[in-house]
Amino acid sequence: MIGKFRLKHFFLLLFVFVLATIVIDLIRISKYQVIPRRPSERIDSRQNELYYELVNGGVDIDWTRLDGTLKYVSAEYDCADFRLVNLVRIMYDYGDQIPAAYKSRIDDVLLNFRYWWDEPGENSMCYWSENHQILFASAEYLIGQLYPGTVFPNSGFTGEQHMEKARTRMLDWLEMRWNYGFIEYYSEVYYNEDIGALINIIDYAGEEELVIKSQIILDLLFYDVASQSINTMFSSVSGRAYEGNRKGGNGSTLGGLTQYFWGNGGKLGAGITYGMMVSDNYTLPPVLADIGRDSSELIIKQNNGLDISELKIEGYYGTDNRSMMMQWGMECFSNREIVRNSLTHIRNCNMFSNEFVADFKMLDFKLIHWLHLEPVLNRILKPQTDGVAIQKGNTYTFKTSDFSMYTVQSHHPGTYGDQQHIFGLNMGNHFSIFHMHPALEKGVKHQSPNYWVGYGHFPHSVQDENVNLSIYNIPEKKAIMEIDLLDYTRAYFPLDQFDTAFMVNNYVFGKKGDSYCAFIGTNDFSFRDSAQDDIIQHGKQVYWITEAGSKLKDGDFEHFVQRIQNNRVEFNKESLDLKYWSQGHEYNLTFGGDFLINNEVIKTSYSRYDSPYIRAEKKDKTLTFSYKGKSLFLDFDKLQRVY
């Protein structure tokens, strides 16, 4: 009796303790306040235009045009670091022209800014994505260099201490890019931000190591752009892409840099990369420009970034600054392997007020932390935010003079996607076509994923030369935290931009110039509503086969159409096994399984570089790019860059 009495009281006390702990945590969490990441009304930032005006001999400069920039940076709204790029250039190149009173205002803003997530204060700036990391580090180093002996009131550090702090991050970031490539690979949006940060380091940093390593990484970035461009259109698979990036077109020129370096030579206007127009310290190696102009038929294979499963063996699995730069640079937040690290980091850096990660407060319960329940909850809830993680991209690009087709091979089939773009086809340098499983219905507002950006669920997508096979296996039921689950897939196919295009049942064909394309589906296609660029295929277990052709290879368009319609297709909806026969090849893909051609398994994971221009493994000590008798030799550790 006594034992039972004591046991009963023990459980009663345990219940009271658990309940009290939960109540106390609920009260504490309810008091968290989220700081807006953007101003309620638009703030006009004119630092880019002002810098452009100064460079091009402007007189009677109206310095109050920087008022919006200073207001935005001072408030520490998200993307304040974008605005610091040309503000830094103004300070270095034209600081002596700024009126003393106005210069004092600029000093006050720059000295009180929160340059990194571990400094005092709170805001909703995104510090962590790949481009933001180098933008913040570049700004902190160069502003610290402007005020070396001055104490920065917010941090309590001198300018020299800020330089050392930022220097460590810059070297870590540069080494990650050398060893693993860009996490935001082939991003027409975010490569611009990387360029803005790197050219500032190259032009103003007072240390040879930082300058040369930044030049080397900028070379690697421009190799990516050159090798993935068709003529001057830079549109390819990507770790982070938005609607316009996926569609290609005349605007896909990396802000005009592809035109400048291997197109018509037209200079850039005002913008974050304008430093490229005035820099005396960076010259694009000629071999990279020639690669950008190359229109021969070739295959480019490349390995970019890391998978979450590789973080531990590569030494990026802790909660130290370097590890978190890699983990959060990959946008890994809620994934079960990382979620405890994320929470530790948020607590350490006082970030529950940051709008981007504020929802983690739902896990900020002591019992969850003590019992290590975060990974368990991840398995149960299967949060769609897991798809934000940008994991390793094994990219395959087939280029000809008429078209280019590209795929991230066998990229985590069936899982969530956020801003990734894993398959597309460029019709010359006119526009692109692609298919996807949308995460949300058309018109529903959500930054990503949505109807045009990212994926509800990734297909299993593979490519060999001009043929891509993709299988979608959409779940029957929506996961607990999934925002929606649509029962169809769709394709961007702009009918009015083709010279000739038509749909027949489960086939759609297009011709642009001398470039041909075809989609084949499991079920009949239809254009959505009155849209003439939006093809719908209903069904949850479906395939999309894409084949590209050209006048050179196929003769006239009618012959291409007839050949595709005569090709044999077999698909088993139960086993999700797809077979396609074309031009003497038997292609076979099983969802989650192997890709075979003529019964031979095709390898879909690649070395760091595998193309006619360069072959290299990850973490090689040196790299050599070669084409048409020109070359570029890079040695990151020995600071050698020879072309």
- Predicted confidence at residue 14, as pLDDT, reads 77
**Strand, coil or helix: what is 579?**
strand
Q: How far apart are CA 612 and CA 628, in angstroms?
A: 11
Q: How far apart are CA 420 and CA 243, in angstroms?
A: 11
- Predicted confidence at residue 4, as pLDDT, reads 63
Q: Which two tokens stand for residue 103?
A: 């210069």
- Predicted confidence at residue 11, as pLDDT, reads 76
Q: Give yes or no for a contact between 461 and 469, defined as CB atoms under 8 angstroms apart.
A: yes
Q: How far apart are CA 222 and CA 284, in angstroms?
A: 8
Backbone angles phi, psi at 101, to 5 degrees: -65, -40
Q: Which long-range contacts (CB under 8 A, 24 or more apart) does 90-95 make?
A: 90/47, 90/50, 90/51, 90/54, 90/66, 91/143, 91/146, 92/142, 92/146, 92/203, 92/204, 93/54, 93/55, 94/54, 95/146
Q: Which residues of the chain have pLDDT under 70?
A: 1-5
pTM (two decimals)? 0.96
Taking alpha carbons only, the member of 289, 212, 168 closest to residue 634 is 212
Q: Give yes or no for a contact between 451 and 444, defined as CB atoms under 8 angstroms apart.
A: yes
Residue 510 Cα to chain centre, angstroms? 29
Q: How far apart are CA 413 and CA 458, in angstroms?
A: 5
Residues in Cβ contact with 312 at an 8 Å cutoff, skipping those fewer than 6 apart: none
Order of strands, edge to edge, in the sheet holding 600-601? 569-572, 577-582, 585-590, 595-597, 600-601
Q: How far apart are CA 333 and CA 387, in angstroms?
A: 10
Q: Give yes or no for a contact between 161 and 218, defined as CB atoms under 8 angstroms apart.
A: no
Residue 245 burial (CB < 10 Å; 0-12/13-18/19+)? buried
Q: How far apart are CA 4 and CA 11, in angstroms?
A: 11
